[in-house]
Structure 1
Amino acid sequence: MDQNEHQADAHRRPKKLIFAPGDIAQTSTEPTPEPQPQAAIDQTAEALRTSTSTPNSTTETEVLSNAARAHQFGANPPLTVSQIHGTNPLHQFNTWFHDPRLPASSAPETCTLSTASLPSGRVSARVVYLKELDERGWVVYSNWGSREGKGGQVFGLSGSDTLGAMPEPDSEPTVTSEIGSGNKWGALTFSWATVERQVRIEGLLEPLSREESEMYWRTRERGSRIGGWASWQSKVLWSAEPAQLEANQRRKSVAKLQGAFDGDSLVPADIDLTDVEDGRALLELKVKEMEERFAGVEDIPLPPFWGGVRLVPESVEFWQGRRSRLHDRFRYFSTAMSTSTPQTIPQSSTSPWIILAITSGAFAALNGVFAKLTTDNHTTAFAQSLAHLFGLDSSPVIEMLTRGACLGLNVLCNVIMWALFTRALTAGPSTVKVSITNTASNFLATALFGMVVFQEAVGRLWWLGAAMMGAGCILVGMREGA
């Protein structure tokens, strides 16, 4: 790729708000503070947390006189609408993420990724690190190759035990309910206790392209790349029955760790005979194999089963603690995603915007009918029929009142038509689809009212127009979908 192509490609990429914060940003060099001794525990509090204690009059009196025992939030002023971004939750998240009260040493990029299996619906969660945030969503990286872990939940992996390669973006159906299929719905939760804030993101998980994953992969140190190849995500390395685990059983990994710091004398000579193998040796053997495989290779390649996924948000909720548990909570919701993406829960076959658009077209046709009745000769005959029905003499006054009523109904239908059409535009996926549905409804309803009210015949030209409108709806719908 030459320089011009590289610059053109850079302009097409969304702006990255956050990129590898824990890998590139300098961490704090201050030493970890020494743990402080715990304060003396009040006798009443100790009694309350002891399972064997029995409440008595003394403890009950103490509890009732100190009702506000739980932590009270008060680090922030009240959160109002004027203090948050009006339309873009990603920029609002970026503002909170870079709050100076969140030091890098607290790892604010730590978050919980939640996914669910189909068709059981079993939910699992794990702590991961946010590595990127751009104008499309939140990005995390991991090993997705195991059927037992999140890879099987998100991508399905039906028919195989491992993921041979990360799927390309838009290469698979979004959500199905078949056994073994993937469930792309996921959630991320950020909890920042020091500033009493939390952010919850729910949406669809989409795989990154291999080029995008390689960009972050190159920022990882060599040991992390070896670990990416060696780790068997969610695979069981070792299992044991309770009888095998004795109360004072030494663990080889702990003994070696102690020996590394305090001297080899802490490692017993018979460690291989007395310790129970816990699977760590198997993992270390795998690491050694990968080190030998890539010996002399400076740029270790990206594993096919390893990469990034982007959580494209459907909803983003910002929570901030307040006193007395009256917390502030603001939620951004994407109506476009909720109407344009498949759902895991069965939805109504008819969307609300379709009903609004069809009804709006019908009232537009009624508007035309009453407009015509204000000047048509049919109104004269209709006024005479009304006068005869109520035993009144036919007079111009009756006809004028009838035409006035038709004019009022004309105005009323016009108001209702525009109100429904405006609501359809707000709820619909696009202006084009709403306009097409509204026009088609108006076209058909006008012909129906013409036949019923004015005894008008539908000729060949009408059928030709109906066919052309149908073809136009199909073509425009296909173009809009593309």
Structure 2
Amino acid sequence: MAQSLADMRRDYTRDGLSEAQAPAEPFALFHQWFGEAVKTEQLPVEPNAMTLATVDADGRPHCRVLLLKGLDERGFTFFSNYDSAKGEQLAARPFAAMTFFWPSLERQVRIEGRVEKVTAEESDTYFQVRPLGSRIGAWASPQSRVIRDRAELEGLLAETEKRFLDRAPQCPRHWGGYRLLPERIEFWQGRSSRLHDRLNYRQVESGWLRERLAP
């Protein structure tokens, strides 16, 4: 097993990333790369899937895959249960990192920064466009809590469905959005012989500073 893992490798030859291709600020480049990922990545890959890393009150890291659901000049938005493990971690230490990986394009984007909750209005607006099953699930699931078995979860779901038989579920107070306000965004383009291109954008007092990092 160890030998087979050591032999697993892929040479990246699809593209490069030069300073001439990169704008002075990172959001335009992210929009470009994301648009290309949407066109290129094949199902079941979700181009808006990203790994979110948080740290708990004891300094221990945690990560999981989530879906990006919003992007503007302020930052990157995702949604969750505020009472979940990640919600508790973000309440204790409001910083996070997210990583996007688009294998077909041999690209990766790493983002780090402070996290804040979005407004209740933003959370409600997104909640209302979710499928009905997802809205009911947000009420039914005590996310990250220990439950006895699948039957318990299905029982909670059945109770919640009865609760909303004659009315549409509204956004619960324990559920909503977070926005990561980026302080650093790194664009990684795979290159041959592991000599990858890495352009790093770092926030400074005057705006964004672009730097090339050694692979």
The counterpart of 1:121, out of the listed 46, 49, 59, is: 59
Written as runs of structure 1 = structure 2, the 5 A alignment for 1:345-356 is: none
Output the TM-score relative to the length of structure 2.
0.89
Structure-2 separation of matches of 1:142 and 1:186: 14
Match of residue 314 from structure 1: 183
Structure-2 separation of matches of 1:69 and 1:127: 24
The counterpart of 1:292, out of the listed 144, 162, 174, is: 162
Match of residue 130 from structure 1: 68
Contact kept, 8 Å, 1:144 with 1:233, in 2: the verdict is: no
Written as runs of structure 1 = structure 2, the 5 A alignment for 1:92-131 is: 92-99=29-36, 100-103=39-42, 105-118=44-57, 120-131=58-69
Offset of residue 103 of structure 1: 4.6
RMSD: 2.0
- Unaligned runs of at least 5 residues, structure 2: 208-215
The counterpart of 1:330, out of the listed 199, 205, 209, is: 199
Q: Which has the higher strand share?
A: 2
CA deviations 1:129-160 (Å, max 9, x no partner) are 000101100000111213xx0111111xxxxx
The counterpart of 1:301, out of the listed 163, 166, 170, is: 170
Structure-1 separation of matches of 2:2 and 2:112: 41
Q: Which residue identity lines up with residue 194 of structure 2 in the other structure? A: R
Q: Which has the higher helix share?
A: 1
After superposition, the Cα gap between the structure-2 partners of 1:47 and 1:115, relative to the gap in structure 1 and judged at 3 Å, is closer
Match of residue 33 from structure 1: none
Written as runs of structure 1 = structure 2, the 5 A alignment for 1:458-477 is: none
Contact kept, 8 Å, 2:22 with 2:29, in 1: the verdict is: yes
Question: Secondary structure of the residue that 2:100 maps to in structure 1?
Answer: strand
Structure-1 separation of matches of 2:48 and 2:172: 24
After superposition, the Cα gap between the structure-2 partners of 1:221 and 1:324, relative to the gap in structure 1 and judged at 3 Å, is same
Offset of residue 47 of structure 1: 10
The counterpart of 2:10, out of the listed 52, 66, 71, is: 71
Match of residue 88 from structure 2: 152
Offset of residue 105 of structure 1: 4.8
Question: Secondary structure of the residue that 1:317 maps to in structure 2?
Answer: strand
- Unaligned runs of at least 5 residues, structure 1: 1-45, 51-67, 156-181, 239-278, 337-425, 428-482
Offset of residue 106 of structure 1: 2.4
Match of residue 151 from structure 2: 281
Question: Secondary structure of the residue that 1:217 maps to in structure 2?
Answer: helix
Q: Which residue identity lines up with residue 291 of structure 1 in the other structure? A: E
Question: Secondary structure of the residue that 2:139 maps to in structure 1?
Answer: helix
Question: Secondary structure of the residue that 2:68 maps to in structure 1?
Answer: strand
After superposition, the Cα gap between the structure-2 partners of 1:214 and 1:47, relative to the gap in structure 1 and judged at 3 Å, is closer
Structure-2 separation of matches of 1:305 and 1:91: 33
Q: Which residue identity lines up with residue 156 of structure 2 in the other structure? A: K
After superposition, the Cα gap between the structure-2 partners of 1:47 and 1:136, relative to the gap in structure 1 and judged at 3 Å, is closer
Offset of residue 321 of structure 1: 0.3
CA deviations 1:91-138 (Å, max 9, x no partner) are 2111000003235652100001110012x2100001100001011000
Contact kept, 8 Å, 2:118 with 2:179, in 1: the verdict is: yes
Offset of residue 90 of structure 1: 1.5
Residue 227, structure 1, aligned to residue 137, structure 2: yes
Match of residue 14 from structure 1: none
The counterpart of 1:208, out of the listed 100, 118, 124, is: 118
Contact kept, 8 Å, 2:80 with 2:87, in 1: the verdict is: no
Written as runs of structure 1 = structure 2, the 5 A alignment for 1:6-17 is: none
Contact kept, 8 Å, 1:129 with 1:140, in 2: the verdict is: yes
Q: Which residue identity lines up with residue 219 of structure 1 in the other structure? A: V
Structure-2 separation of matches of 1:48 and 1:289: 51
**Structure of higher CA gyration radius:** 1
Q: How many residues align?
A: 204
CA deviations 1:159-194 (Å, max 9, x no partner) are xxxxxxxxxxxxxxxxxxxxxxx1011011101111
Output the TM-score relative to the length of structure 1.
0.41
Structure-2 separation of matches of 1:291 and 1:311: 33
Structure-1 separation of matches of 2:113 and 2:51: 14
Give the structure, 1 or 2, with the largest relative contact order (CA under 8 Å, sep 6 or more).
2
Q: Which residue identity lines up with residue 155 of structure 2 in the other structure? A: L
After superposition, the Cα gap between the structure-2 partners of 1:74 and 1:227, relative to the gap in structure 1 and judged at 3 Å, is same
